[in-house]
Amino acid sequence: MRECSIFCDESGTFSKFNARAPYYIVTFVLHDQSESIVEPIVKLDAALAPFQIKTRTVHAGPLIRREDEYEFTDIITRRRIFQRLFIFTRTCKIAYQPFVVDKRHMTDEKPLSDLLSSLIRTFLLDNLAFFQSYDRVVLYYDYGQAELTKILSDTCKENLSNLEIRKVRPVDYKLFQAADMLCTLELLAKKAENKTLSRSELTFFQSERELRRTYLKPIRQKRF
């Protein structure tokens, strides 16, 4: 049985437009189950072991901003953790598709849910032959936001007859953590484009040029 996995994560909220957080981003990470990623996972586990991450889960945003369990972690260590997950994401046989909504375009007539549903629906229909070539498509999401959970259920089930949706715990799947990192990188790309990178982001990546050269340009090769 041929199976395609889709790991989904988001960046942003369904709240009203805020100039400090103007984007809502959803990322799909697609993986053909016939392509083994056991070796990259083993390498990632070994590379992360010395850092003794309590949650056993790498969250890219808090890592950059020195939040949550990284509050007392120095920047060199945080960069090394970020790089380990980035290398895993780049070397795995996966592809990804981001959906970016500029919340300035939201209105009462066109709420975020409609804009996002339209982007996802268009992607699925444009690539329907690809998804129908699989016996089963399994979408993994952590049900972190009720609004997105409903959009995924309604839009994906409406367009993919071979779809299953499963709730996932980030700690259980490295590709879900990859989806989290890709959401963060897509957000950073938009902020770099509009010259709105924060001081902590510029410090973490050392410069906008370094962010583009080392991370954004290489990872874009994984676009679906």
- In this prediction, residue 198 carries a pLDDT of 94
Which amino acid, 87? I
- Which CATH fold topology does 3-222 show? Nucleotidyltransferase; domain 5 (3.30.420)
Q: What are phi and psi of 96, to 5 degrees?
A: -140, 155
Proportion of the chain above pLDDT 70, given as a percent: 100
Three-class SS state of 96: strand
For the stretch 5-33, pLDDT in tens is 999 999 999 988 888 889 999 999 999 99
Distances (CA, A) of 168 to 32, 85, 86, 132: 18, 19, 21, 23
- In this prediction, residue 76 carries a pLDDT of 97
- In this prediction, residue 209 carries a pLDDT of 97
For the stretch 208-217, pLDDT in tens is 999 999 999 9
Sign of the alpha-carbon dihedral angle for 45, 50, 56, 59 = negative
Mean per-residue pLDDT, 89-105: 95
- In this prediction, residue 16 carries a pLDDT of 87
For the stretch 51-69, pLDDT in tens is 999 888 999 999 999 999 8
